[in-house]
Amino acid sequence: MLANLSLIASRTVSHLLLAIPAILLSFLLALPLGWFANRYRWSRATLLTAAGLLYAIPSLPLFVVLPTILGVGVRDRINVIVALTLYGLALMVRSAADALASVGTPVRLSSTAMGYGGGSRFFQVELPLAGPVLLAGLRVVSVSTISLVTVSSLLGVDNLGLLFVDGFQRGIMAEVVTGIVATVVLALAVDGLLVLAGRLMMPWARVRR
């Protein structure tokens, strides 16, 4: 395994280049959707059911069908990132909706009374307060996305999943195990970074305990 360290490293970088944009995009896109679901209650059930359905789409067909819609190659980075974003979005919308809902009307009303307008109220009051729940959702999305990237290796996209596919064909169990371990370690590392970022950005959230 040590001999292949550079291979693992380059696959890891490729893996991250696919996962991170998707995670960020899911988060950024889920916020307005979650806000919408929260503000207009009638849309909540529909949006959440749609999200559930989206998550149920098996990943491999999505990776193959998207290119015909997007007009890019199957192995193109953009194809994989869009597919991953859709899954991340499906998971994150519910979190975002729940997170913003947890802020509560009293807080919203009092902040309006204090003079916060719509936009600044969202960014300076609701978003920070929804932070911890949003972070929890983001952590689930990041772990799930990093794990899901590996499926695209069946199509030849460069990522840690290629280690399973190659190890499988050649019967080298160590390679498969390395692929699995590397993916898990990567997911846990990113998760740790998110927790760290959360603590830095929301120091008040720790006081609750």
Partner 1 sequence: MNYFVEAFAWISDNLYGSNGVLARTWEHLWYTVVSVVLASVVAIPLGYLVGHTRRGRGLVVASSGAARALPTLGVVTLFGLIFGIGLLAPLVALVLLAIPSVLAGAYAGIEAIDPRTVDAARAMGMSEWQILARVEVPLGLPLLLGGLRSASLQVVATATLAAYVGAGGLGRFLFLGLKTQDYPQMLASALLVMALAVIVEGAFEIAERVAARRLHTT
Partner 2 sequence: MKTRIAAVLAAAVLALSACSSANPMGSASTAPSGSASASGGTALVIGSQQYYSNEIIAELYAQALEAKGFTITRQYQIGQREVYLPELQAGKIDLFPEYSGNLLQYLDKSATAKTGEEVLAALPAALGSSLRPLTAAAATDQDSYNVTKANADKYGLASIPDLSKVGAGLTVCANSELAKRPYGPPGLKSEYGLDVEVIPVEDSGGPLTVKALKDGDCLTADIYSADPSIAANGLVTLSDPKSLILPQNVVPIASAKVNEQAASVIDKVSGSLTTADLVSLNALSVDQQQSSAVIAKGWLTSKGLLS
| Contact call for residue 136 and partner 1 (CB under 8 A) | no
DSSP codes, 179-207: HHHHHHHHHHHHHHHHHHHHHHH-GGGGG
Cβ nearer to partner 2, comparing 4 with 49: 4
143 binds, among partner 1, partner 2, none (CB under 5 to 8 A by kind): partner 1
Of 156, 185, 188, 192, the one binding partner 2 (CB under 8 A) is 156
Count of residues that interact with partner 2, criterion CB under 8 A: 35
| Contact call for residue 134 and partner 2 (CB under 8 A) | no
Q: How far apart are CA 176 and CA 108, in angstroms?
A: 51
Cβ nearer to partner 1, comparing 53 with 193: 53
Of 44-52, 85-93, 103-111, 150-158, the segment contacting partner 2 by CB under 8 A is 150-158
- In the structure encoding, which two tokens stand for residue 175, read together? 């390679």
Of 12-20, 47-55, 110-118, 177-185, the segment contacting partner 2 by CB under 8 A is 12-20
> Contact, 137 vs 95, CB < 8 A?
yes
- CA 191 from centroid of its chain's CA atoms: 11
DSSP symbol at 102: T
